[in-house]
Structure 1
Amino acid sequence: MSDYILETHDLQVDFGGFLAVRGVDLKIARGTIHAIIGPNGAGKTTVFNLLTKFHAPTAGRIVYNGTDITHWKPAEIANHGIVRSFQISAVFPHLTALENVRLALQRRLGVSYHFWRSRKVLQSLDREAMERLGQVGLQGFAQRRAVEMPYGRKRALEIATTLALEPELMLLDEPTQGMGTEDVGAVTDLIKKVSAGRTIVMVEHNLGVVAKLADAITVLNRGEVLAEGPYETVSKDPAVMEAYMGVSAEEASA
């Protein structure tokens, strides 16, 4: 088996003459946390949409575990262990935390639409649901409706529902967006905890989070790869500082 769980080769997408992603080559090492960063409009979320088939590439290939998945449907992607979170928390607001995770378990076990099943049968999933909530520190919120939970806890609940699908590869889109300092720290620690035994690719704007979590970083700018490497190397790259931090190459090298 390859050391790379996910690769893209010359990935491109054209939106009516606008080349939003051009020639992107990614190599995501198995068992790592790989961050994709860049200024607004760099193409980060578009790349995520290509990986999860919300957009079809105009050119290039996507390879997952050695298999070309370029033309797979979104459901096929999810069924083979690639699960994505979104910038906005995607839990069911008027269900409890336990019910949200239990629905994810039903999806994984192929009984998502068996709403006629007795409450007793559904409750048989509660033990595993509570285990997933325990992984993200939400045992005490099991009977709390998602709409009543603080924002940081909602993001933790979304990660719990993602874990219930048993992903091999987790794609996290701006996991700390809109959070205060305390919630950012908690979710950062949570991502590190749940990364054990799986691979995580994350789009993230908070460089402090990236520095703490990422084993490798890809910097995008205007739809192209600008730089790659560990944080220590990428953060000192003059071109990155100019594009991402608003510091000119001359200032960066001064």
Structure 2
Amino acid sequence: MIDTQSGSKSDFAVETRGLGKSFGGFDAVRDVNLKVRRGSVHALIGPNGAGKTTCFNLLTKTLIPTTGRILLHGKDISSLRTSDVAQLGLVRSFQISATFLHLTCLENVRVALQAKNGGGYRFWRSLRAISGLNARAMELLERVGLADVADVRATELSYGKKRALEIATTLALDPSVMLLDEPTAGMGHEDIEPVTELIREAAVGRTVLIVEHNLSVVSSLCERITVLNHGEVLNEGSYAEVSSNADVVSAYMGGGEDD
């Protein structure tokens, strides 16, 4: 893809330049320059209140930037709407599981496939009209280890399986860039490793930007890490580099309020 200003081919799936967001004079995010290399798994970490969620909201256009630019595959998306950004291939998975709890696993994935195929969320369509999506929905459930519970309602799943279902519905949209917001939050130890492996498999052939507090998950998944503190980039590098940085250690020891 081509950067519309520089005219050069971008090596980065997501890039921000001087990104900032102010709320009534408070700078939640300030002058963030982020570069997420195409095909990589990149983490955005930091203590509570660092601005990570605000950054995610800016990237998906849930919030409008006060300053700066956002590029997706070299294309300036700063002025686009949330729906436009999703159509371009950037899809976010939320911290709180966003499944339809009273639909089955198969139905949840099928709804996402309807949206991807231009059918929208049309629950009133006949089963015959959407049955052609069942095979693809089952493929995705198989991929995330849920094929055996395809006919089980989402409300009956364990927390870890709900997150796996959410990843399946995200994959149904066939994103080129996945933004994962705290995918292991609230999980017991028995669920963290399977979900981590699931993210690793889902990342094949696409770019993943992840906000995650569990640093063992970050260290095992992510090639590069950007550390935020007080809305600014504090450090960036490999896990070994950022975890040994004195400023990063100090920021985590100090903590703060939730972002």
TM class by shorter chain equals over 0.9
Number of equivalent positions: 247
Establish whether residue 208 from structure 1 lines up as the match of residue 185 from structure 2. Answer: no
2:190 match: 182
2:3 match: none
Match of 2:153 among 145, 162, 168: 145
- Root-mean-square deviation over aligned CA pairs: 1.1
2:49 match: 41
TM-score normalised per structure 2: 0.93
Match of 1:167 among 175, 191, 194: 175
**Cα distance per residue 1:149-188 (max 9 Å; x no partner):** 0000000000000000000000000000000011111110
Residue 112 of structure 1: how far off its partner (Å): 1.7
> Which runs of 4 or more aligned residues in structure 1 lie more than 4 Å from their structure 2 counterparts after TM superposition?
none
Residue 3 of structure 1: how far off its partner (Å): 1.2
Determine the C-alpha separation between the residues in 2 that align with 1:215 and 1:113: 36
Residue 246 of structure 1: how far off its partner (Å): 4.4
Determine the C-alpha separation between the residues in 2 that align with 1:116 and 1:156: 26
**Cα distance per residue 1:120-141 (max 9 Å; x no partner):** 1211110000001111011011
The AA in structure 2 aligned to 1:242 is: S
Distance 1:113 1:209, change over 3 A: closer
Determine the C-alpha separation between the residues in 2 that align with 1:105 and 1:217: 32
Residue 241 of structure 1: how far off its partner (Å): 0.3
TM-score normalised per structure 1: 0.95
Determine the C-alpha separation between the residues in 2 that align with 1:185 and 1:80: 31
Match of 2:112 among 104, 124, 133: 104
Establish whether residue 21 from structure 1 lines up as the match of residue 38 from structure 2. Answer: no
Maintained 8 Å contact 2:89/2:174: yes
Determine the C-alpha separation between the residues in 2 that align with 1:165 and 1:128: 12
Runs of at least 5 residues in structure 2 that lack an aligned partner in the other structure: 1-8
Determine the C-alpha separation between the residues in 2 that align with 1:131 and 1:238: 46
List aligned pairs for 1:48-67, cutoff 5 A. Answer: 48-67=56-75
1:194 match: 202
List aligned pairs for 1:220-239, cutoff 5 A. Answer: 220-239=228-247
Residue 66 of structure 1: how far off its partner (Å): 1.2
Distance 1:76 1:164, change over 3 A: same
1:252 match: none
Match of 1:132 among 115, 129, 140: 140
Residue 116 of structure 1: how far off its partner (Å): 4.1
Residue 20 of structure 1: how far off its partner (Å): 0.4
Match of 1:122 among 130, 146, 150: 130
Maintained 8 Å contact 2:111/2:121: no
Residue 65 of structure 1: how far off its partner (Å): 1.1
